Amino acid sequence: MLEQGNGIRKSKFGKTTHSDPNMSMTSPEGEDDICLRHSSASASCSGPSEPNRSSGEGSPMMMSPWNQTINFNKSHSTLDDDGNVPPHSLIGSLTREEGHIYSLAAWNDLLYTGSDSKNIRVWKNLKEYTGFKTNSGLVKAIVISGQKIYTGHQDGRIRVWKASIKNPGVHKRAGTLPTLKEILKSSIKPSNYIDAKRKRYQWIKHSDALSCLSLNEEQGLLYSASWDKTFKVWRTSDYKCLESVQAHDDAVNSVISSKGETVFTGSADGTVKVWKRERVKKGTKHTLSQTLLQQETAVTALAIDKPASVLYCGSSDGLVNFWELEKDLAHGGALKGHKLAILCLEAAGNLVFSGSADKTICVWRRDSNIHTCLSVLTGHTGPVKCLDAEKDQKAKNEQCWKLYSGSLDKSVKVWSVSEYAQIGSTQQNQHQAAGCESESSPSDGSCSSGRY
């Protein structure tokens, strides 16, 4: 087991290569509720977009002739003739020299970013709006549900935050998972302890760094994945830990709770597993349904589109495998567009975004099981660690998305991406996604050309 600088645990087979002077005590000081003073953020627009790539068998880095390098040195307010930002363009860059960006989440007109500086920054309209500090270490994951912000940390715990109704710029800690009450209650019974890393831990606690969070708002459940090889299930109404599942033989890098009763996990042990959830008297029970992928390279990221029709899996070998849920999880193929490990994935509409250790972001458009690489976004000077996307409400084009990318270069970039940009040209460059046909693809992720 190796821990890479990008914060993802890799298996041994993986192919991967300060204090804040602006702290403002506007709220009572506690362990996790120090408010940060506003500061300006840059809105620079440097960094081009590479010519397009298309995914296809035997041509993973095919360059499309109909795209040219775009210069972003102009102001982010530059518009086209119709009053819109040009497709696949950088519209802003948020930089603060305080830590590598490991997590982000967009909600309404706010963007939350987490780093290894212990600070959680909140941005609005490309400027820093507010922030709050936690003394629990690196912020590995952020998910938002209504007025609650859940953050996962290096210390294996989850923090819950709420914005003040009177002063939305002030965030206070509303809870920590597991709660102190539950820890004390659980400590009485010896059966509530497990052996991990040569120590005894309560099963309700993660014994290693937390890697991922996933919300199932319909069921009122929060899932957390950890390097301790488990995922845990929490009830959001009272923060009670309902279940801990020993899921993999190595670090769990990603967990996704989709619609229905299905949960997906991806691990550094090279597997993607499917779990079925049952409601039992005391909470939940998850049973392993099948293993979708079994390979030597680490699984680093999972994503699922909003209709829950396609599951995407990124690996340390730079491939993005996908499965079609509507076809009983038939393997659809693999997208080849990166030179180094996939570190993050995001699905929005018919688009899929893959961020990589090669410092680029591939923008893929899905038409049935055919994926076309519309663009390769460049500009980051470090590995792209996290992605999030939301509909661009100001754009006239309904298929326009605002993409946020966080990097280990300590910056967050904001992109405008159109779902049907230059569609007349992209049709000439469509290729069947690399890999086996959906009907004949084995469930272990291998095909006639060999294992991925």
Domain count, the chain: 1
Q: What is the pLDDT of residue 382?
A: 97
241 sits in which H/E element: strand 240-246
Q: What is the pTM of this model?
A: 0.78
In a domain, 300, yes or no: yes
Q: What is the mean pLDDT of residues 86-112?
A: 89
In a domain, 410, yes or no: yes
pLDDT in tens, 356-394: 999 999 999 999 889 999 999 999 999 999 999 998 877
Q: What is the mean pLDDT of residues 408-418?
A: 95
Q: What percent of the chain has pLDDT over 70?
A: 72
Residue 104, domain extent? 89-418
CATH of the domain at 335: 2.130.10.10
Q: What is the pLDDT of residue 422?
A: 57
Q: What is the mean pLDDT of residues 129-149?
A: 90
For residue 116, give both structure tokens.
Answer: 């290894």
Q: What is the pLDDT of residue 19?
A: 34
For residue 75, give both structure tokens.
Answer: 């102001």
In a domain, 290, yes or no: yes
In a domain, 439, yes or no: no
For the cut 50, the answer to whether the pLDDT of residue 40 exceeds it is: no
Compare 452 and 371 and report the one with higher pLDDT: 371
Q: What is the pLDDT of residue 87?
A: 67
The span from the CA of 377 to the CA of 403, in Å, is 11
For the cut 70, the answer to whether the pLDDT of residue 72 exceeds it is: no
The span from the CA of 310 to the CA of 342, in Å, is 18
Task: Please report which confidence band the pLDDT of residue 323 belongs to, taking 50, 70 and 90 as the band edges.
Answer: very high
236 Cβ contact list (under 8 Å, min separation 6)? 145, 148, 215, 220, 221, 222
In a domain, 66, yes or no: no
The span from the CA of 121 to the CA of 132, in Å, is 7
Compare 182 and 12 and report the one with higher pLDDT: 182
Q: What is the pLDDT of residue 10?
A: 54
Give me the chain's average pLDDT, please. Answer: 78
In a domain, 10, yes or no: no
Beta strands in 164-218 (DSSP E): 171-177, 193-196, 199-202, 210-216
pLDDT in tens, 439-451: 223 333 333 222 2
Task: Please report which confidence band the pLDDT of residue 306 belongs to, taking 50, 70 and 90 as the band edges.
Answer: confident
Compare 23 and 367 and report the one with higher pLDDT: 367
In a domain, 19, yes or no: no
In a domain, 57, yes or no: no
